Amino acid sequence: MKKVKASMMNAIHDLPLLVARDEGFFGDQGLDVDIIKTPGSGQKDSDHRALRANIFDRTMEALYDHGACDQFRMCEWGVMKRAVESQTEKGHRPAKIVALGSAMSTFAIVTHPKTRIYEPEQLQNKPIGVSPFNGSHFTTLKLLEGFLKRDQIKTAFAGTMRERIEALKRGEVAAISLMEPWISVAEKNGLRVLMESHSTRSEAAGDELDGPTLRKMFEAEAEAARAIEQNPAKYAHYLVEEAGGMLELKDLKLPRILNAPPEPYTRQRFQQTYEWTRDWGLVPAGATYENTVDNRAWQ
Amino acid sequence: MSTATRERTKPQIATMNAVHDLPVLVARDEGFFKDEGLDVEFITTPGMAQVTTSHFVKFDSVFDRPLDSVYNEGRIDQYRMCEWGIMKRAVEANAQGLRGRKIVALGASMSKFAIVVNPNSKIYEPEMLKDKPIAVTPNNGSDFTTLKMIEGFLEPEHVKRTNAGSMLKRLEAVRDGKVTAASLMEPWISVAQKWGMRILIESHSTRAEAASEDLDGDTLKKMFRAQARAVEKIEKDPRPYVHYFVRETGGLLKPEEFQTWRLLHAAPQPYTRERWDDTYRWTVKWNMTVPGATYENTVDNRAWQ
């Protein structure tokens, strides 16, 4: 069995990985995948280790830098930022984008009914709680760009998913960006979902992981994506557990769970996503498809 | 003032699709208009949400559509649509010398629109709709809200909209693989979910209220107060009003299958200059209306004066 060290943070983004491990799909591929659980922002008792100002100081990124794991996934734009900056900043272990990921996680922008905000345009110049440079941040920009001018979109740090729900209830922010299971927790608490969308992950890996091994990992994840689609309720417990008693299975909106087989990360996709991320000033200039992407799993 | 208008003695309000007109329907059926001393006549025109609507709207002229043409003939004084649709009509009626109408309020219904695809497709998120046809009603809420929702994910030239008919027709077109995606409102988002379709993105969106000069500010104020009372009732418990939606689907949806959590309403509000500036600029940017309009010749908040 080939040993692989992959990391996970939040169940909604890592569900195919967890299911592939627990259903034995990695084993079927001849892989022994060790999933290193790192702190995320989506567990009830999450602290701020995954939210430090410098992304490379965050636990998962630091573990990757020090070689404790070889492969991770995050929102597409977050992986873009990390892949580009690991090349352009000194002292970091390079990571390349090796696939468009499985989890098409839903993010939602949520307000409190007492704010009298009923639709996205009413968020003009109002603070929205996000995790800076993570999925909730990037997806908020994507969601709002059609409704507001860029300088009218105001994002703010408001802690973990649970903490930002509390910040919203206290009126410290006008809105918050959430992923599951916290969208369902928000709904259970009577908060208002203004808009929501599925969004993309990317898979990143160090050079230590060869193409055939990555391919086997992605085939196992694809098998897991099919299993989840057939019976999402069977795997919803991973999400319910993160809510630490604040949510029951019946309260989780299962149609929000969506996963697909990993795919090669195309040049066209790189160009658009890199340009968009750079245009927002979220990543430095100078990266190329060649030094950022490696589809070796399909070569 | 048209002859038809002059002969009438009571305001005539149009209703089309339940999701946009729910506060009007509830205010009518709960007697809230009467409580305000209003004797209102309700004119129902065909909308894209009714299973019985089989016509294909014309892309080139919004003024040929059922509600618009009835309004032009003077048989309706007041109606509501998506904010951008009202903007287009208010601006272009002036430009084309048609019966005038002004934006008289930000409307009550914060209707949800959703973009759905077939579950067998390999489209999982909005960026994957690049250069793929999305079925909408041109120049209506499903069209404008599609642009708003997609604009952060795709460059404008990669957003492709098409006309595939009513909500039912476009849902069938998605199911049958004739179109990649469709923009839907309720009750058709609920029908899509029942059919196992995949919802990529959804958002609440705004209505605006339009009226002719034949309705004075005091009457409009009473109408909006009646709608505001209806909003309170709906927000408290929407279930008694699900039947309006179920009826539109002609048996395709049972009451318990309608997703009431998507309903959201607020009391009508004055239409602000800032809002007008932002919305008009956006609508002109997308070439959805003509330039040259002003807040003064397009908006009239007389209900609050």
Looking at the fold, whether B103 and B226 belong to one and the same domain comes out as yes
What tokens were used for A247?
Answer: 């949510």
Per-residue pLDDT at B53 exceeds 90: no
Measured distance CA(A118)–CA(A107) in Å, rounded = 17
Q: Which of A171, A198, A225 is the last residue of a domain?
A: A198
Concatenating the DSSP letter of every residue in chain B gives: --HHHHH--S-EEEE--HHHHHHHHHHHHTTHHHHTT---EEEE---TTSTT--PPPPSS-GGGSHHHHHHHTTS-SEEEEEHHHHHHHHHHHHHHT-S--EEEEE-SB--EEEEEE-TTSS--SGGGGTT-EEEE-TTSHHHHHHHHHHTTTS-GGG-EEEE--SHHHHHHHHHTTSSSEEEEETTHHHHHHHTTPEEEEEEE--EEEEE-TTS-HHHHHHHHHHHHHHHHHHHH--GGGHHHHHHHTTTSS-GGGS-GGG--B---B---HHHHHHHHHHHHHTTSS-S---HHHHB--GGG-
Cross-chain residue pair A119–B203, CB shorter than 8 Å: yes
Contacts of A192 in chain B (CB under 8 A): 264
Which pLDDT value is given to residue B56?
A: 55
Question: Based on the domain organization, do B146 and B121 belong to the same domain?
Answer: yes
pLDDT tier, A86 (very low <50, low <70, confident <90, very high otherwise): confident
pLDDT at residue B79, rounded to an integer: 92
Q: How many domains are there within chain B?
A: 2
For the cut 60, the answer to whether the pLDDT of residue B3 exceeds it is no
Do B12 and B104 sit in the same domain of this protein? yes
Q: What's the complex ipTM?
A: 0.92
Is the CB of B152 less than 8 angstroms away from the CB of A145? yes
pTM of the model: 0.93
> A174 and A224 share a domain?
no
- Identify all chain A residues contacting B125, using CB atoms and an 8 Å cutoff: 104, 197-200
pLDDT grade for B4, boundaries at 50, 70 and 90? very low
**Do B139 and B255 lie in a common domain?**
no
Confidence of residue A129 (pLDDT cuts 50, 70, 90): very high
Question: A152, A178, A198 — which closes off a domain?
Answer: A198
Report the chain A residue with the minimal C-alpha distance to residue B192: A255
CA distance B127 to chain A (A): 9
CA angle B1, B7, B10 (to 5 degrees): 95
Q: Are residues A19 and A100 in the same domain?
A: yes
* Contact list, B198 vs chain A (CB under 8 Å): 258
Q: B278 contacts in A (CB within 8 Å)?
A: 121, 124, 149
Please count the structural domains in chain A. 2
Q: Is the CB of residue A198 less than 8 Å from the CB of residue A70?
A: no
Contact status of A279 with chain B (Cβ, < 8 Å): no
- pLDDT surpassing 70 at residue A152: yes
Q: Considering only CB atoms, which chain A residues are within 8 Å of B264?
A: 118, 192
| Pair A12, A100 in one domain | yes
Check if the beta carbon of residue B115 is closer than 8 Å to that of residue B200. yes
Shared domain check, B102 and B157: no
CATH of the domain at B147: 3.40.190.10
Q: Do B272 and B260 share a structural domain?
A: yes
Question: Number of CB pairs < 8 Å for A and B?
Answer: 75
Same domain assignment for residues A228 and A87: yes
- Find the mean pLDDT for residues A92-104: 95
Whether residues B202 and A196 touch (CB distance < 8 A) is answered with: yes
Contact A196/B at CB under 8 A: yes
Domain boundary (B204, B226, B261) is at: B204
Residue A226 shares a structural domain with residue A272: yes
Range of the domain at B193: 112-204
Find the length of chain B: 305
Q: What is the pLDDT of residue B2?
A: 45
For residues B106 and B212, membership in a common domain is answered with yes
Domain boundary among B153, B182, B204: B204
Q: What is the pLDDT of residues A240-290, one digit of tens each?
A: 999 999 999 999 999 999 999 999 999 999 999 999 999 999 999 999 999
Mutation target to probe the A interface, by most A beta carbons within 10 A, among B203, B234, B281, B286 is B203
Is B146 in the same domain as B39?
no
State whether A81 and A218 are in the same domain.
yes
Given a cut of 80, is residue B145 above it in pLDDT? yes
> Which of A198, A224, A253 delimits the end of a domain?
A198
pLDDT digits (tens, 9 = 90+) for B219-262: 999 999 999 999 999 999 999 999 999 999 999 999 999 999 99
Same domain as A286, residue A224:
yes
Host domain of residue A127: 106-198
Which residue of chain A comes nearest to B235, CA vs CA?
A113
Using an 8 Å Cβ cutoff, are A125 and A207 in contact?
no
Segment B36-43 shows an average pLDDT of 93
- Which pLDDT does position B65 carry in this prediction? 79
Kindly report the CATH number assigned to the domain that includes residue A278: 3.40.190.10
Residues of B in contact with A258 (CB under 8 A): 124, 198
Say if the Cβ atoms of A146 and B125 lie within 8 Å: no
CB-based contact A260 B206, cutoff 8 Å: no
**Statement to judge: residues B223 and B104 lie in one domain:** yes
- pLDDT tens sequence across A12-61: 999 999 999 999 999 999 999 999 998 878 888 878 877 788 888 888 88
CA of B72 vs chain A CAs: smallest distance (Å)? 30
Contacts of B127 in chain A (CB under 8 A): 200, 269, 272
Q: Verify that A85 and A207 share a domain, yes or no.
A: yes
Query: Is B199 a residue whose pLDDT tops 70?
Result: yes
- Taking the C-alpha atoms of residue A231 and residue A239, their distance in angstroms, rounded to an integer, is 14
Task: Give yes or no: residues A114 and A251 share one domain.
Answer: no
Residues A54 and A135 in one domain: no
Nearest to A179 by CA among A259, A106, A258: A106
Q: Does A202 touch chain B (CB under 8 A)?
A: no
Both B137 and B89 in one domain: the answer is: no
* Residues B106 and B7 occupy one common structural domain: yes
Please tell me whether residues A90 and A216 are part of one structural domain: yes
Burial class (CB in 10 A: 0-12, 13-18, 19+), A202: buried
* Res. B6 pLDDT band, cuts 50 70 90: very low
Q: Residue B80 in contact with residue B224, Cβ under 8 Å?
A: no
**At which of B204, B225, B252 does a domain end?**
B204
- Residues A290, A206 share a domain: yes
Pick from B128, B148, B193 the residue to mutate for testing the A interface (most A CBs within 10 Å): B148
B118 with B49, same domain: the answer is: no
